[in-house]
Structure 1
Amino acid sequence: MQIKVERIDSANAKAEAKVSASFLSEKQKKMAEEAAKTMKIDGFRKGKVPTHVVLARHGEQIKQDVEQEALRVFLNDALKELDVAMDLVVGEPAITKMDKVDDGLDVEIKISFRPEIDLGEYKALVPEYKNPRILKKDIEERVNTMLKLSAPLKELEEKRAVQSGDFVLIDFEGFIDGVAFEGGKAEKYSLEIGSGSFIPGFEDGIIGMNVGDEKDVKVTFPKEYNSKDLAGKDSVFKVKLQGIQIKDVPKTPSEETLKKLLPGEENPTVETLEAQVKEQLKNEKLTKVFAEEVKPKFVENVLEKMEFALPENIVEQEIDMQVRNIFQNLSEEDIKEYSENPKKITEKREEFRDEATKSVKLTFIVDELAKAEEIKVEDQEVMQMIYFEAMQQGQDPKAYYEHYQKQGVLPAIKMSIIEERLFTQLFSKGK
């Protein structure tokens, strides 16, 4: 096998090979001999099947296997010539030519490698930002919300009509065009007025009712409602108010409440609670600042300042993926038009090149930064996160995880976790 290699740049190379007919013939003979040792064919003892019989029966498959073996040998030899380790190869080598010549092969492949990235003074690329101020009223509002959430419900002692913030116990049944619909009936249903947890207009319709009142509440289901039979439909709910409850919210938390809100604290105090709330609010606001201001500018900075060659095959794969996503939403007529016009497909692919190039470049930068910052995410952590997400949504965790696995998105999920931790760590340092 004669090979010739050419470095295109630090992340890409081209290799050519002339695979002789004798090389293929010898490999084919050896493969047939190996197959003959285990093959069972009537009329021959096991291990005694002549190679010409094996080739007569399975010649085409063996020929394909030999060509694949020739490509593997070619790739290994090319990497030796280039002095590049196999673990630095990224993506599948692209076969740009494979011609049969005089029973041999003329082959050309493009190989891509993990890029060499000089991070330089990357921390200097983190833009300046102001630490968010947490006001005393912000802390008080959050503490009051926590106290309200943890407070028990009690029956309203005074006689008055329903107002926003009350918890009501209601019987109701929904009708469309005078016909009751499935899932539209309940008894002694607890609903917080003003929570926005019911169909728009329903909670407002209950305000002003007194215990024992019955009322028809007219509402329209949202057009994007999850039931197609109800979406966008006008309906009437017959409602009976059974009771009004309110939250018994203390002005200052009791020792028992503090223990609930500060689990693990030996001597929980209001001051400890307020300090924890302040830290929570600060982290929430910082997360927003990082996402909306710091990260976009930092990404812009690293993409501009860090120059390095990109593996071409990875860029092409990213373009393919983005084009596939677009084609999934095209009409049959549009797909037919593209299939009949290859030039139009090429033009469409080029529309995504700039975005795909930036995406691939950022992925390699993030990977290199994560190593520099010693950010690690184990596969077990990804599984636990997906299991937790499934349980929150009332789904079977194992089936939920397997769905992601079949979709092939687990590496992307892992990368997003790494990216989030990386940016949080980078942006938080010194603040």
Structure 2
Amino acid sequence: MKNRLLALALVGAMALSMVACGSKEDDSDKTSDQAKADLLAQTTPIEYDVDEYVTLGQYKDLEVTLDGTYEYTEEGFKEYIQKNLENAAIYVEDNSQKEVKEDSIVNVDYVGSRDGVAFDGGSAEDQMIDVAGNCAAGGSGGYIEGFTAGLAGHSVGEEVAYEVTFPKEYGNADLAGQTVTFTFQINYIAKALSSKSELTDDIVKEKLGYDTVDDYVSAMKTQFEASLQSNLESDTQTAILNAVLNNSKVSKVPEKLLQARVDMYLQVYDKQYESYGTTAKEYLEAMGQDYDEYVKNLKKSISESTETELILEAIAKKEGLEIDEDGYKAFIGNVMSSSGATDENTFYQVYTVAGYTGERYFKQAYLTQKALDLCKESAKVNGAPATTENDEKTDAE
């Protein structure tokens, strides 16, 4: 039972992304959802004795060792800024390059025309193009086949025109299967920025939203230090959780509880796709997936995460942990805020399935987190620095 994530990961996967992305409901939708939730809430609650399924091992005074890097270093910060710049995909003119190569990044204006007449949506200016990738520089979506094929070998300032054929299945019926001419004006060859030394105040202001390079570096330092602390906390929790799980044993997951978890997950998925006029089953099948196989794999995954929950539930029971009003209020408030939800009852409805209410689900999640916190309080953690703060002045170079 190694490297298993906390059951609360399910809360993150569901609550923090899916509920918020649905469209706005009208009053009849809310009434229907409320009636459904009320009906489900009236079904016989799922009951089980966690002690019948869990054999607890040592969970206090654990000793764990972390192997990550959690202290601020100049080299680490330099790498952090470099990665940030790479992710930002900032391109500037490379005056040393005058001829387009097969792997060049090129800034162009282009016009698409058919029979000498420009067609709608076929023209653009100041476009940064990845010639080798046949896509926008730094992007993932590609152009139609052959769009950038004729640029290599031409020079900055040159105008280049060649024919390109749209695929037969192209979304615009007027262009599907049609051969058109694209005329490119090659403005300049570009290069990607990857270090602080290449930044200027103008670039930072235009591309990154900061007034000066110093402002940007200062903000990145704050983010880097926060990421070190976040990694430390996350790795500590994971290491302690793994130790707890490895010392304990679950004979099996109560079948009704497992089915409730699966039903809950699928219900949230359906709620998401409902706003697009479809269901999770229809969507997955349209994407070529076997829905029954998907549910089978999902059930296996949820069974493992529920084992984690049961072990922590057993610890909570043994230690006499209870729901405290203020603590839970902060917990559920944070979950709802992250998901964009505003009404607690409506939020619970989304997670209510036969035999298990959404409110019960989140209160149980709160208790499992309290149980893990209790384990962390007595643990000895090797490899963790006394602090991730660093008083040295930074120079990303």
How would you bin the TM-score normalised by the shorter chain? Answer: 0.3 to 0.5
Please say which structure displays the higher CA radius of gyration.
1
* TM-score, length-scaled by structure 2: 0.43
